[in-house]
Amino acid sequence: MDTSTLLAAYDQQLRTDAETPSAAAVERLGPLRLVTFAGGRGFVTYQDLAGASAETIARWVAVAVAFYRADPDIVRVEWKTRGHDHAPGLHEALLENGFEPDETESVMIGAAGALDVDAALPSGVSLRRVTEEPDIRAMSAMQDEVFGSPVSDGNAEAILRRMARDDGMELWVAEHDEVVVSAGRLEPVPDTDFAGIWGGATREEWRGRGIYRAVTAARARAALSLGKTLIHSDSTEYSRPILERYGLVRVSTTTPYRWRAEHLDGAVAD
């Protein structure tokens, strides 16, 4: 499959309700989907912007912000942009309404079979799928540390809520002496050819030893066993070259813009 075919599959199969399976509520604003998640998180996405002008897009952004401001439970919102969209004036409108751009990542897609490789683990490192709460909390804490964030019970609780819904998500870890050194999750997307690989993280001292490769291969095998033939991932510049070596290609980019609600005293919510 060439890049244009993969990108078309991404737009048609993933930029739908399949993108937000754990949404608590979804409102429509033109082509936009204004999503609300548990825990006070909003999320804005869409399949395309329907050829809208800069003026129309600016109005949508302002209305979306007003929608989330009206909900006292919302503390943060992500607006997910894609580099291949025709979106005149969107960047400027987001900045004017209090959004800040985060790091741009690569949208990577490829055959699941390309990731199903034999990857030898270093001595003393083992790989397994985890389902129990203590293991999930240990995995979440490691990911928080690797991503440079404070260890958060909230992140672990969000994963546990997902696991309780039994929506197909799988969690995989690599361990050494019962300490999690690498991890990632697999998210099969119902009614599509896709499964997503997310949250890949490896402790710095264990990088470059094939562990991330092994965690990725395990997730690819699990995806194939579920009948998923395509893998997608939003990848940092660290993980992108690894996925490219296995045949995944960059079909676009994605940049999240983030907005945080302000309390009445002007302080920004955590």
Mean pLDDT value across residues 52-77: 97
Q: What contacts 48, CB < 8 A, 6 or more positions away?
A: 11, 15, 31, 85, 86
Indicate the pLDDT class of residue 155, thresholds 50, 70 and 90.
confident
Q: Does residue 152 surpass a pLDDT of 90?
A: no
Q: Does the pLDDT at position 263 exceed 80?
A: no
DSSP H or E run through 3: helix 3-9
Quote the pLDDT of residue 270: 32
Q: Cα–Cα distance between 191 and 189 in angstroms, integer?
A: 7
- Calculate mean pLDDT across residues 159-164: 89
The pLDDT score that the predictor gives to residue 247 is 84
Confidence of residue 119 (pLDDT cuts 50, 70, 90): confident
Which pLDDT score is estimated for 148?
87
What average pLDDT score do residues 128-133 get? 97
For the chain, domains (ranges, CATH) are: 15-106+254-260 (3.40.630.30), 110-252 (3.40.630.30)
pLDDT reported for residue 58: 98
Half-sphere exposure of 254 (CA within 13 A, CB side): 22
pTM to 2 decimals? 0.84
What is d(CA 111, CA 249) in angstroms, rounded to the nearest whole number? 10
Q: Measuring CA to CA, how many Å separate 45 from each of 10, 15, 18, 134, 136?
A: 14, 8, 11, 33, 28
Kindly state the average pLDDT of the residues 60-87: 97
Please say if the pLDDT value at position 268 is more than 80. no
CA 241-116-199 angle, 5° bins: 55
pLDDT band at 202 (very low <50, low <70, confident <90, very high): very high
Nearest Cα to Cα of residue 25 among 71, 60, 63, 69: 71
> In which band, very low, low, confident or very high, does the pLDDT at 267 lie, cut at 50, 70 and 90?
very low
The predicted structure's pLDDT at residue 264: 32
Residue 127: both structure tokens together: 């790989």
